[in-house]
Structure 1
Amino acid sequence: MARLVDESTGGVMLTVSAWRRAGLAFVIAAGVAVGPVGVAQAAAPGGVIAVERADGFRGMGETQIIEYWTRGVGGATQPASGALFLPVGPAPAGGWPVVAWDHGTTGLASGCGGMSTEAGPAWPLTQVQFLHRMVDRGFAVVATDYLGLGRFDTGPHPYLGLDTEATATIDLLRAARSVRSDLSPTWVAAGMSQGGQAALGTGHRQASYAPELDFRGTIAIDPESDVEKVASVLVPGNPDQLGGGILGFSASILAGMRAARPDAQVDSVLSPLGQRIIAEIGTMCQDDIDARVAGLTLGQLLAKPLGAEPFRSAMADYMTVPTSGYNAPILLLVNATDRTVPSPLHAALAAQFTANGVHYTPVVGFGGHCDLNPTMWAAIDEFLDRVHS
């Protein structure tokens, strides 16, 4: 990948070898104080750190990898990375409309995001199909790694932390628009699994965080939701072994909260074994996390019920999907036979949307987690046509 622009950064530890070479940085983001590599100050969220041309990245055609600043944990400005995938040919009048894509669960460590480096985990087939379909239909796609999962080691990824998922998504969009003048201000958020939750958080947050952009709606595919309500009844000694990777996801929530929310006092609800495992998995991608917890139960990791305070309230604030207050339509695609995010949780989310008058369209399939059947694909096409008309 050819580096087009290389800026430096101060106050953070970075893991990209190119950042260690000497020389001056070249500026494309206003407000970045530039000096020798490793000295620059952080710009405002949405400011660009560096851009690389990466055509053909994971088979996606014209691609740019963007390193940028985002509003991170506790409101601090932190570095993140992601990709911009572009359609073939000249942009239409007004620019390419944009889909901001949020990926599913990939782990907790730098390099696990998969959007800015091919060294990350393989892309799920549904994600490959979705991204190609969007680009083929004439949408530019911005795809964030999220905070901590890309090219920068900023500590364990705040897994399912709705706030940083939303800001990482929106700040990449801002950065991409500063890099490319042929992007339209019109955009939608879309994602699957963790990314479905992130897309809903983004769709809710954008009105206050990015009012300058023309947001048109959200596509959420089997989104995580209401797990914090179920978790509150889990107690030490529970003998159930959680299948389908659910224990790995649960441990990742605890690790993400431990890093991002000291007010949650996560260690206070963990057993000595739990404290050791939660500390270890912060440097792992999801396959290794699942392997580390294989054969264990969540009950073995706990010293207190997850309904104990202050953990319970902090967890609800950290990851609860909003069920009111959206100002654009939502396409909710869920599988009734989903075992990763169990279908009762999907039903609960839909019921809360209905009760609160949210403008949403549900489409139900009967595949596995994040599978999309022909009816769902048709609903995606119709939704995009409708919100961009």
Structure 2
Amino acid sequence: MTAQPRRIPAAPDHTPSRRSVFTSRPVKTVGAAVVAAGLVGGVCVTQAFADPAPSTDEAPRGGQTAGTVFANRPVADGDLAAGAANGQQYSFWTQGSDGRTHLTTAVVLTPKGKKPASGWPVIAYAHDADGISSKCGPTKSKVARDTDMVSDLLRNDYAVIVPDYSVVGTAGSPQYVDYSAAAQGVADAVRAGLDVEPALSSKWAAVGDEQGAAVAVDLARSASSSESPKLDFRGATATTLPVGYADVVTGLSPQSAKVSPSTVTDVVYTLASLPSDEVESLLSERGRELVAKAGDECAPALSKAIGSSNVADLVRVPISSKRSLVTDLRKQLALPSSGFSRPLMLSQKLVDDDTDVPTNLQYVTTAQLASNKVTAKTYLTGDARDADRQEKSALTDFLKKLF
């Protein structure tokens, strides 16, 4: 049954205290507030917040079941991304890495043209995360790249779901700190999206970039085993893979080697997402300053504040001194290279300032040798624009074969 539009109230003016993202105790959540939508680049999405009830061992029930819709409303015609015929904003329940159910948000856009008899095939776009504040949802920043990708998919006759990672804007961390939790959130967004938009097919695939690429990789291994009967997951593509990111974070020390500016930004957000009592003693004065800024600033502003600082400037002692923290981070940021149940395209350009190209090429090769589900794509050109063109063409062709 299609969920009916529901009035979206304003959010209460309070800031919840930060909680650990590594707790495994399930907690039932009750009550929620959804704040007004934010618009960037033609895609609009609501931000949702959930307040936890006291701990309980009971599984989430009723409307708090993962993959169910809390509220939805149409996207105004003037706010649609290029290539979209219509869209719906919606908030839905998903379970985070902390074992709690949270409200998070997404937008579903349908393409122009005649709908296929079986409905529009769905692409879930797993974007790179952009901050831990409520103002840093997927449609409020990274305008040019994200909007171009969404519009390209719409023009290729796919419905597109753009989910936010749960916990953005609430106590805890955005779920890109835990790839498996983020992947489950994307699957929940698709499940809820089918209730919001009846024109969708049950067939869906994921397209992931940067931190979102790790989410797509995890989906290719796990989505088919956990999805409901009404969903038919076909496969995923992953570009600008964050290979080695777990090593950067867990190996963080005053002697850490220099990394790309975008990686420094991600590391600051990761530190800001961790339990303060675990991290505070590790941070340098500069690290404490930037971690404090990360709670309020989205990636462009935080990157500007970081300036020329490198990861080595963030800590005064190695993060390895906290063994339990390192263990949790390695588990949550692991990038699997085998065990895939659905087709997966791993793409790596030879010119990529955001990754360690040799390390990524080794990962892509290892994964292809380990699984017949993996298609590795590299592009023998040193021209960045030509590599982008070839990668886009490869992605388009691969997706066509999935449906």
Which TM bucket (shorter chain)?
0.7 to 0.9
Whether 1:86 aligns to 2:110 is: yes
CA-to-partner distance for each residue in 1:171-197, whole Å, 9 max, x for gaps?
Answer: 110111112222111111111111111
Report the CA distance between 1:247 and its aligned residue.
Answer: 1.5
Task: Give the 5 Å matches for 1:58-137.
Answer: 58-61=81-84, 62-115=86-139, 120-125=140-145, 127-137=146-156
**Which protein is richer in strand relative to its size?**
2
- Inter-partner Cα distance in structure 2 for 1:228 and 1:356: 21
Decide whether the 8 Å contact of 2:339 with 2:371 is kept in 1.
no
What residue in structure 2 maps to residue 341 of structure 1?
355
Unaligned runs of 5+ in 2: 12-28, 38-60
- Inter-partner Cα distance in structure 1 for 2:320 and 2:73: 46
What residue in structure 2 maps to residue 203 of structure 1?
220
- Inter-partner Cα distance in structure 1 for 2:214 and 2:382: 19
Going from structure 1 to structure 2, the CA distance change for 1:73 and 1:43 (only over 3 Å counts) comes to same
CA-to-partner distance for each residue in 1:21-72, whole Å, 9 max, x for gaps?
Answer: xxxxxxxxxxxxxxxxxxx985201111111211343435211111111111
Report the CA distance between 1:295 and its aligned residue.
Answer: 3.5
Give the match's secondary structure for 1:73.
coil
Decide whether the 8 Å contact of 2:159 with 2:200 is kept in 1.
yes
Decide whether the 8 Å contact of 2:344 with 2:375 is kept in 1.
yes
CA-to-partner distance for each residue in 1:139-184, whole Å, 9 max, x for gaps?
Answer: 11111121234xx544442443202311221111011111222211
Decide whether the 8 Å contact of 1:142 with 1:176 is kept in 2.
yes
- Inter-partner Cα distance in structure 2 for 1:156 and 1:369: 33
Give the match's secondary structure for 2:207.
strand
- Inter-partner Cα distance in structure 2 for 1:369 and 1:254: 32
Going from structure 1 to structure 2, the CA distance change for 1:41 and 1:364 (only over 3 Å counts) comes to same
- Normalised TM-score (structure 2): 0.78
What residue in structure 2 maps to residue 331 of structure 1?
345
Task: Give the 5 Å matches for 1:229-268.
Answer: 229-238=247-256, 242-258=259-275, 265-268=278-281
CA-to-partner distance for each residue in 1:285-339, whole Å, 9 max, x for gaps?
Answer: 0012212322433223213323341232111111111111111111112111112
- Normalised TM-score (structure 1): 0.81
Decide whether the 8 Å contact of 1:13 with 1:154 is kept in 2.
no
Whether 1:271 aligns to 2:284 is: yes
Report the CA distance between 1:250 and its aligned residue.
Answer: 1.5
What residue in structure 1 maps to residue 402 of structure 2?
387
What residue in structure 2 maps to residue 303 of structure 1?
316
Q: Which amino acid letter does the alignment assign opposite residue 133 of structure 1?
A: D
Among candidates 292, 299, 302, match of residue 289 of structure 1: 302
Give the match's secondary structure for 1:245.
helix
- Inter-partner Cα distance in structure 1 for 2:176 and 2:269: 6
Among candidates 218, 227, 232, match of residue 214 of structure 1: 232
Going from structure 1 to structure 2, the CA distance change for 1:354 and 1:242 (only over 3 Å counts) comes to closer
Going from structure 1 to structure 2, the CA distance change for 1:137 and 1:245 (only over 3 Å counts) comes to closer
Going from structure 1 to structure 2, the CA distance change for 1:178 and 1:347 (only over 3 Å counts) comes to same
- Identity over aligned residues, as a percent? 23
- Inter-partner Cα distance in structure 2 for 1:298 and 1:376: 30
Going from structure 1 to structure 2, the CA distance change for 1:370 and 1:160 (only over 3 Å counts) comes to farther
- Inter-partner Cα distance in structure 1 for 2:149 and 2:382: 16
Give the match's secondary structure for 2:392.
helix
What residue in structure 2 maps to residue 189 of structure 1?
206
Q: Which amino acid letter does the alignment assign opposite residue 262 of structure 2?
A: G
- Inter-partner Cα distance in structure 2 for 1:342 and 1:371: 19
Whether 1:161 aligns to 2:178 is: yes
Task: Give the 5 Å matches for 1:27-66.
Answer: 42-54=63-75, 55=77, 56-61=79-84, 62-66=86-90
Provide the alpha-carbon RMSD of the alignment.
Answer: 2.9
Report the CA distance between 1:257 and its aligned residue.
Answer: 3.4
